[in-house]
Amino acid sequence: MPRTQKMIHSLFLINCSGDIFLEKHWKSVVSQSVCDYFFEAQEKAADVENVPPVISTPHHYLISIYRDKLFFVSVIQTEVPPLFVIEFLHRVADTFQDYFGECSEAAIKDNVVIVYELLEEMLDNGFPLATESNILKELIKPPTILRSVVNSITGSSNVGDTLPTGQLSNIPWRRAGVKYTNNEAYFDVVEEIDAIIDKSGSTVFAEIQGVIDACIKLSGMPDLSLSFMNPRLLDDVSFHPCIRFKRWESERVLSFIPPDGNFRLISYRVSSQNLVAIPVYVKHSISFKENSSCGRFDITIGPKQNMGKTIEGITVTVHMPKVVLNMNLTPTQGSYTFDPVTKILTWDVGKITPQKLPSLKGLVNLQSGAPKPEENPSLNIQFKIQQLAISGLKVNRLDMYGEKYKPFKGVKYVTKAGKFQVRT
């Protein structure tokens, strides 16, 4: 008896209201009814976030991801590493994002033919075939308004008729024959601070997660090396496949032939062993009175270790307890909203000016008779600091080999709050 059909058998795309709006089968057809098991699981889970990614049904296994308000549900028949499927589904979603600018139901429906062509190329018999964006774009051109007009007149198509050379070469991530009049290479060093701050303001946990995103528009086959002033800071790094691992191991230099366009070069972590500078502090006093239908809410935000840069784009989000009916608050700066249904308070603060610290004060109306909330809600804080990598990481230089021209180079640093939570 053959153990039939490994890997991904079928894919269903399902929107939030439970409509299956696209299906694709790589092997024989699996009925839509298999999704009923998924809906069942979805119902059981309180919210979308809690739908288990792996569901077992009598004849199949369903592995799903939730992205941009859509479920990508794949049908599997036999043993397969679940991460393999999950990672692939995310790659599919990334590709849609890349092609259509957004990964939404409308975009997918509008481009259903391209979606189908993409899925056809990305998977053969359930096994990934071409997943590199550079290759796919040579096989199937992304839609543009101009091209669809031209195509409809000339009858020409979005489908390339030559095999992308990249697919055959050892640099499968780069397409051949790239030409630009302006040769540019930009790098964004983006660091996010993940932190949990406890009631008293001390740091329970903090670490820095960083990525370097690149936008490379260079002609020909450039060979780049990017070096850092202080590479030892990077505790744990993951690489785009283009990076030569050995160079990094021996010299801590990122040496690579880049893909064309936008891509993530590395992600890294600066370990929690290093002290992480926390750029903001929050003073808070939230209290609910026993046997009374109101409480007090008062928070103030101030800058802490901000390396002399302005902290901007501050937003505070609070999931208030269920018993909260409404909130009457006055911000000294920015504006706030409270959604009485989801109980989410959002305060859009903006910039911090050290002279006058922004604060938000006022009364909380509680459901009368209900017991007072056990715990004060956590504050989730977002902020941004331009031109600063909080870890102190600095790019030393970028060299290009293999091509004659002089590219324009640029590096930008940003620090953001990642999962930044203040317990109150």
Partner 1 sequence: MSSNSFAYNEQSGGGEATELGQEATSTISPSGAFGLFSSDLKKNEDLKQMLESNKDSAKLDAMKRIVGMIAKGKNASELFPAVVKNVASKNIEIKKLVYVYLVRYAEEQQDLALLSISTFQRALKDPNQLIRASALRVLSSIRVPIIVPIMMLAIKEAAADLSPYVRKNAAHAIQKLYSLDPEQKEMLIEIIEKLLKDKSILVAGSVVMAFEEVCPDRIDLIHKNYRKLCNLLVDVEEWGQVVIIHMLTRYARTQFVSPWKEDDGLEDNEKNFYESDDEEKEKTDRRKKPYTMDPDHRLLIRNTKPLLQSRNAAVVMAVAQLYWHISPKSEAGIISKSLVRLLRSNREVQYIVLQNIATMSIQRKGMFEPYLKSFYVRSTDPTMIKTLKLEILTNLANEANISTLLREFQTYVKSQDKQFAAATIQTIGRCATNISEVTDTCLSGLVCLLSNRDEIVVAESVVVIKKLLQMQPAQHGEIIKHMAKLLDSITVPVARASILWLIGENCERVPKIAPDVLRKMAKNFTGEDDLVKLQILNLGAKLYLTNSKQTKLLTQYILNLGKYDQNYDIRDRTRFIRQLIVPNEKSGALSKYAKKIFLAQKPAPLLESPFKDRDHFQLGTLSHTLNTKATGYLELSNWPEVAPDPSVRNVEVIELAKEWTPAGKAKKENPAKKFYSESEEEEDSSDSSSDSESESGSASGEQDEEGDSSEDSSRDSSSEQERESASQSDIENERAAKRNSKTRGKGDSEDRKKKNEKSKTSDSSNAESSSIEESSSDSESESESESESESREVTKEKEQKTKQDRNPLTKDVSLLDLDDFNPVSAPVALPTPALSPSLIADLEGLNLSTSSSVISVSTPVFVPMKTHVLLHRMSGKGLAAHYFFSRQPCIFGDKMVSVQITLNNTTDQKIENIHIREKKLPVGMQMHVFNPIESLEPEGSITVSVGIDFCDSTQTASFQLCTKDDCFSVNIQPPVGELLLPVAMSEKDFKKEQGMLTGMNETSTTIIAAPQNFTPSVILQKVINVANVGVVPSGQDNIHRFAAKTVHSGSLMLVTVELKEGSTARLIINTEKTVIGSVLLRELKPVLSQG
Least separation in angstroms between residue 421's CB and partner 1 is: 5
Least separation in angstroms between residue 356's CB and partner 1 is: 30
Q: Which CB sits closer to partner 1, 318 or 352? A: 318
- Apex CA 280: angle with CA 205 and CA 352, to 5°? 160
Distance of CA 185 to the CA centre of its chain: 22
78 interacts with partner 1 by CB under 8 A: yes
158 interacts with partner 1 by CB under 8 A: yes
Helical H segments across 123-252, by residue range? 133-139, 145-154, 165-168, 245-251
Q: Which CB sits closer to partner 1, 154 or 181? A: 154
172 interacts with partner 1 by CB under 8 A: yes
What 20-27 contacts at long range (C-beta under 8 Å, 24+ apart), as own/partner pairs, is 21/105, 21/108, 21/109, 22/108, 22/109, 22/112, 22/115, 24/116, 24/119, 26/123, 26/124, 26/125, 26/126, 27/125, 27/126
* 279 burial via Cβ count (<10 Å: 0-12, 13-18, 19+): buried
Residues of span 246-305 touching partner 1 by CB under 8 A = 246-247, 249-250, 255, 257, 264, 267, 269, 272
Contact code string over 362-401 relative to partner 1, x by CB under 8 A: ---------x-xxx-xx-x---------------------
Contact code string over 88-127 relative to partner 1, x by CB under 8 A: x-x---------------x--xxxxx-xxx--x---xx-x
Residue 120 CB contacts under 8 Å (≥ 6 apart), including other chains: none
Least separation in angstroms between residue 44's CB and partner 1 is: 12
Q: Which CB sits closer to partner 1, 48 or 229? A: 48
Residues of span 318-357 touching partner 1 by CB under 8 A = 319, 321-322
Q: Which CB sits closer to partner 1, 319 or 361? A: 319
Cα(176)–Cα(167) distance, integer angstroms: 10
Q: Which CB sits closer to partner 1, 24 or 351? A: 24
The DSSP bridge pattern shows strands 203-217 and 70-76 to be unpaired
Contact code string over 208-247 relative to partner 1, x by CB under 8 A: -x-------------------------xxxxxxx-xxxxx
Going from the C-alpha of 95 to that of each of 183, 226, 281, the distances in angstroms are 25, 27, 39
